[in-house]
Amino acid sequence: MSSPSLTHPATHAPAGPMPASLVLLLATGAGLSVASIYYSQPLLGNLAGSLRVSTAQVGLIPTLTQLGYALGILFLAPLGDRHDRRRLIAIKAVVLSLALLACGLAPGIGTLMLASLFVGIAATLAQDIVPAAATLAPDAQRGRIIGTVMTGLLLGILLSRVVSGWVAEQFDWRAVFVMAAVAVAAIGLAVWRGLPGFAPTTTLGYAALLKSMAGLWRRYPALRRAAWAQALLSVAFSAFWSTLAVMLFQRYQMGSAAAGAFGLAGAAGALAAPLAGRLSDRHGPAWVTRAGAALTALSFAAMALDAQLPEAFRLGLLIVATVGFDFGVQATLVAHQSLIYSLEPAARSRLNAILLTAMFIGMASGSALGSLAFAQGGWLAVVGFCTLMAGAAFGVRCRSA
């Protein structure tokens, strides 16, 4: 189905296989850009001491970064359909590099907060890279290539906190942001030189472009199912991670370092991305979304069985189940992206913005609802709530045609 506002689909997709060097370049760009959102999280104690401010004040820094990212997805990501994505990626890379440099040179908390907001906004260049990869990929390889680029993005999330903490320990917190600024500038230049130009696929003005997302939502039931299912999985995902540290402390007397170590389960998500892409190419993305949602629900349900196990095995079950649900959530996301990109190639940036906006709403809701569940019924209530949300996502996916 096409829209009268569309000019022509991108004509720059290669006729043959996409070069591995270009796929690697895009995966690296996605990883380095999204990592910028998370560099500050391990540094909050250093920032509070260095800038002589309260922990509550520095706690606003990651909040502003995430807020900026959400705003950038909603209001800037759709521009990829209206303008050359190569140029948008380059502009955002310049802004992100400057914002990171401003963080590293910030004389006070106010400057750091403002720069952090712009870091989040500009880091959405990762969400320009993924649709660019989908556009350049041949149809038969689209799922695999999206999965590979998403692997780079997920590894950026996974490794950002580790790298940030190590660099700050070896040097100081300012070095983290300065080095990140140099890295983003370098990858931005490489992407600018390595990517072809992208023909705009619509002539809509900015206001009409944003308004057209409502039309896409109404037009495609598959998009609505993808958004609802990914949002429900994100509710469960966020509810778990927002309460894990408290549970580990209360039940096992483990500190924040142990909770952070659980983040290594994100490696499962990085492994899920290329596998989910290949399975999407082979069996169709709808099949992968159902399998991913089912795995997520079963993993959360398994956590409820820990009371039946000897204490020595409980932590092991939690680790295995964490790997399982993270694998399921990330596989479903990759499959959903592959699915929606096929709906209307000329609107890929807007379709991606809709999916990710739903995901962020789910994340925010899950954090609040998870904390409420823990306060009312403890860890078992959290696990039950997460299982229910993942089961609901599976139900949404089973309704797909």
pLDDT at 319: 87
pLDDT at 166: 85
* Residue 103 confidence class, pLDDT cut points 50, 70, 90: very high
Looking at the predicted structure, is the pLDDT value of residue 316 above 50?
yes
Q: At what angle are helices 173-194 and 20-35 packed, to 10 degrees? A: 150
Between 282 and 88, the more confident residue is: 88
Q: Are residues 268 and 309 in the same domain?
A: yes
- Residue 219 CB partners (closer than 8 Å, separation 6+): 1
In whole angstroms, how far apart are CA 43 and each of 5, 40, 98, 160, 332? 46, 5, 20, 12, 31
Q: Are residues 127 and 259 in the same domain?
A: no
Residue 6, in any domain of the structure: no
pLDDT at 48: 83
| 146, 178, 200 - which closes a domain | 200
- The pLDDT of 310-331, averaged and rounded, is 86
Residue 2, in any domain of the structure: no
Q: Are residues 219 and 326 in the same domain?
A: yes
Q: Say if residues 203 and 5 touch (Cβ distance below 8 Å).
A: yes
- The percentage of residues in the chain with a pLDDT greater than 70, rounded to a whole number, is 91
- Per-residue pLDDT tens digits for 52-82: 888 778 878 887 888 888 889 989 999 999 9
Residue 3, in any domain of the structure: no
pLDDT at 4: 41
Buried b (16+ CB within 10 A) or exposed e, 208-225: ebbebbeebbebbebbbb
6 three-class SS: strand
Between 37 and 264, the more confident residue is: 37
Looking at the predicted structure, is the pLDDT value of residue 13 above 70?
no
Q: Are residues 225 and 362 in the same domain?
A: yes
Q: Are residues 191 and 217 in the same domain?
A: no
pTM for the complete prediction?
0.80
Q: Say if residues 227 and 20 touch (Cβ distance below 8 Å).
A: no
pLDDT at 102: 97
- The percentage of residues in the chain with a pLDDT greater than 90, rounded to a whole number, is 49
Q: Are residues 185 and 244 in the same domain?
A: no
Q: Are residues 48 and 142 in the same domain?
A: yes
| 137, 166, 200 - which closes a domain | 200
396 three-class SS: helix
Q: Nearest 5°: phi and psi at 59?
A: -65, -20
Q: Are residues 245 and 137 in the same domain?
A: no
Residue 39, in any domain of the structure: yes
- The range of the structural domain enclosing residue 178 comes to 20-200
Residue 12, in any domain of the structure: no
pLDDT at 362: 87
Q: Are residues 299 and 168 in the same domain?
A: no
Instruction: Count how many domains the chain has.
Output: 2
Residue 7, in any domain of the structure: no
Q: Are residues 154 and 261 in the same domain?
A: no
Q: Are residues 249 and 389 in the same domain?
A: yes
202 three-class SS: strand
- The region of weakest confidence among 29-33, 87-91, 251-255 is 251-255
Looking at the predicted structure, is the pLDDT value of residue 337 above 80?
yes
* Residue 261 confidence class, pLDDT cut points 50, 70, 90: low
User: Would you give the distance in Å from CA 387 to the centre of its chain?
Assistant: 21
- Per-residue pLDDT tens digits for 184-214: 999 999 999 999 999 998 899 999 999 999 9
Q: How far is the C-alpha of 326 from the C-alpha of 265, rounded, in Å?
A: 7
Q: How far is the C-alpha of 92 from the C-alpha of 33, rounded, in Å?
A: 10
- The region of weakest confidence among 175-179, 295-299, 346-350 is 346-350
Looking at the predicted structure, is the pLDDT value of residue 358 above 80?
yes
Written in H, E and C, the secondary structure of 183-239 is HHHHHHHHHHHHCCCCCCCECCCHHHHHHHHHHHHHHCHHHHHHHHHHHHHHHHHHH
Copy the structure tokens of residue 374. 């823990």
Q: What is the mean pLDDT of the chain?
A: 87
Owner of token pair 């979304």: 289
CB-neighbour burial class of residue 107 (10 A; exposed 0-12, middle 13-18, buried 19+):
exposed
* Residue 124 confidence class, pLDDT cut points 50, 70, 90: very high
Q: Are residues 283 and 320 in the same domain?
A: yes
- The pLDDT of 267-273, averaged and rounded, is 71
The domain that holds 236 is classified in CATH as 1.20.1250.20
Between 157 and 339, the more confident residue is: 339
Owner of token pair 């039309």: 215
| 200, 234, 261 - which closes a domain | 200
- Residue 202 CB partners (closer than 8 Å, separation 6+): 3, 5, 6, 7, 81, 82, 209, 212, 346, 347
Q: How far is the C-alpha of 109 from the C-alpha of 58, rounded, in Å?
A: 8
Looking at the predicted structure, is the pLDDT value of residue 9 above 50?
no
Residue 5, in any domain of the structure: no
Q: How far is the C-alpha of 129 from the C-alpha of 86, rounded, in Å?
A: 9
- The pLDDT of 7-25, averaged and rounded, is 68
SS3 content of the chain, % helix, strand, coil (to 5): 85, 0, 15
Residue 9, in any domain of the structure: no
Highest mean pLDDT among 50-64, 95-109, 227-241, 320-334: 95-109
